[in-house]
Structure formats: C-alpha cells, structure tokens
Structure 1
Amino acid sequence: MVRTSLAAAALLAVTAGPAAAEGLSVTFADAAWDGEHLPAGQHCSKFGGHGATPPLVVSGIPAPADAIVIEYNDRSYQPLSEDGGHGIIGYRIAPGSPTAELPAVPGETAEGLPEGTWIVRQNRATGSYARPGYLPPCSGGKGNTYVADVFAVRLTNDGYEKLAEARVTLGRY
C-alpha cells in the first residue's frame, strides 16, 4: 500500500482493485498536443517554459468511478520514470459519467488549481529542478519521453480503488 497526500492533511491509500485490468480511452482536448513532441512552452520554467498538463478527454469510465488520478512520468529518466515522478494530480468527476473532460493544470504550483483538481502527490525532482506540484517536462530538450498513466478511481474513506487505466504519451522534449 502506497500512501500519498490528498490536500494539506488528508491521506489517500492507493489500492488496485479486481477491475484494474479494464481500460480507458484517453485523447488530447487541445490539437497542439500530438503525442509526438511537446507544444511550444509546455516545459518547465528552468528552461524558459510555463508548462501545464494537457487538457484530456477520458472515456470508457466505469460507473462507480468518481475521480480520475493521473501519474505524470519521464520514461527516459529513471528517478522520475514511474509512480508519478513528475507529480500525481486528482480530478473529481461526476459519478456514473462515462466521459470526462479534464482541464489543464498549471505546473510548478500547488495554488490556483482548477476547481475539482488537487495535487495527490507533488513531483519527486530534487536540486535546481525541485518545484511544488506538477513538474512539466524538464529535460532541457534532450529528447526525453513523457507519459501520463491515467486511472479511473473510486474514492474511499481511506484512499481510492483503481477501476480502469490507460497510458498516453505526452510527447518528447
């Protein structure tokens, strides 16, 4: 069981339930995101960007789900390559809705997030790369591949249960 902070004081426990094998469909809601290369400026401030998560459309959401949790990772850099190395963000959704439109969430902050979103766990970057909240791609244009692992979840008193999942490639930077 992995413990992650929800907002300030609440803790969520991440558990994979029996339905975790079901899949979701995830598409970009902004045509600037093509899954190949990052759109201009969608990287970290260390390299002159003002990155945010891409807005996404998630479909195939199982009826019991009441949130989407996304783990952002740099597949090319081992320390941040899995389990939300670039941060984990939660998005509340309407229970029973098979589709959800998720807004862009600004990077490098835990403040001013869109309504219904929260930082489940901030990125694990260290040194001069360390920033609060979600860390946008920050490899300095070295060709790293960034992905988002998307989970439809049911919130519980002590955490959440994963019901369905998908991976989307955000692009290379």
Structure 2
Amino acid sequence: MSAQLGGGWDGGKVPSGQQCNLQGGNGSTPPMRVSGIPSGAVWIVAYFNDKSYKPLSRNGGHGTIAFPVRGAVTDLPAVPGMTKRLPGGAQVMAPAKSSGKYASPGYLPPCSGGKNNRYSVDLKAVDKQGKVLAEIRDFTIGRY
C-alpha cells in the first residue's frame, strides 16, 4: 500500500491556512490518494499525530478518521477539523486527544504555533471485521 498527498500538501511545510483556528487557520485533513489497497478492505483508518509533541504523538493524537474504500485506489478527501460532522461517508473513529482550548470532537489541525513540529499519519486498510490488511506507518504530512 502507498499514499500520495494532494491539495498543496507535499510533506514539507503545512500549507497556509491549514493550521488550527486558534492560530488563524481553518484546517482540514490533507487529501490523499491511497493505492495498492488489498481486496476485502472496506475502510482506510487514518491516525493523525504530532510526532514532535509526545502527548499527541501516537495512536491518533490529532484524531482518528475512517474513510470508505472505493477500490484498490481510493482518494481520501480533505475533511474539516474541529467537527465530528464529516462529508463523503468519512467518520470520526476517535476524537483528538487534546484538551482545553485545543479540544476537538474530531481531527485537530496542526496547532503547534509554527514551531516546526512534524505531523504524520498512520494509514490502515481494514476489513469489515476490523482486521488490519495493510498499513503505512508514520507518513509525514507536513511541518508547522
């Protein structure tokens, strides 16, 4: 399985405006094209993390979103942060682990204040029983 970023995300600097609203943005998840999805997979589960900030660095610290699989190649659309209402059949599996003014009921966009933190995603293709069929670990989506 492999993934490719889109929508101005290139794994370098987080695109302008894609940070959290506390820092003047209105961020969404990066759109991605996932290829080589095994047959039998029904969801791509995306675990978003801030690898530079230990409390949110693993297991979906910035939120866990499930996207429906539409074939061996599936485009994961950008979905908005700071909400649990998502388009395109995407679902919040677990909210961000942040708290206080950083709390989010879904995805928390990059919110490190521009300290060059590294944001990544773990992608897992799962079948209808929840068994992981393939995964990509620690795929860098950008720095902020």
**TM-score tier (shorter):** over 0.9
2-side partners of 1:110 and 1:68: how far apart? 17
Q: Deviations over 1:67-86 (max 9, x none)?
A: 10000000000000000000
**1:136 corresponding residue in structure 2:** 109
Work out which of the residue numbers 109, 115, 122 in structure 2 matches 1:149: 122
With structure 2 as the length reference, what TM-score do the two structures score? 0.96
1-side partners of 2:104 and 2:41: how far apart? 30
SS, match of residue 155 in structure 1: coil
Please state how far the C-alpha of 1:29 moved relative to its aligned partner. Answer: 2.7
Percent same amino acid at aligned positions? 50
**2:134 corresponding residue in structure 1:** 164
1-side partners of 2:61 and 2:133: how far apart? 22
Please state how far the C-alpha of 1:115 moved relative to its aligned partner. Answer: 2.0
**5+ unaligned residues in a row in structure 1: which ranges?**
1-23
Q: Deviations over 1:52-103 (max 9, x none)?
A: 0011000010011111000000000000000000000001113xx2110111
2-side partners of 1:80 and 1:165: how far apart? 20
1-side partners of 2:101 and 2:43: how far apart? 32
**1:42 corresponding residue in structure 2:** 18
**Residue-pair matches, total:** 143
2-side partners of 1:88 and 1:131: how far apart? 11
SS, match of residue 13 in structure 2: coil
**2:29 corresponding residue in structure 1:** 53
1-side partners of 2:81 and 2:122: how far apart? 17
SS, match of residue 46 in structure 1: helix
Larger Rg: 1
RMSD between superposed Cα atoms in Å: 0.9
* Structure whose residues are more often strand by fraction: 1
2-side partners of 1:155 and 1:120: how far apart? 14
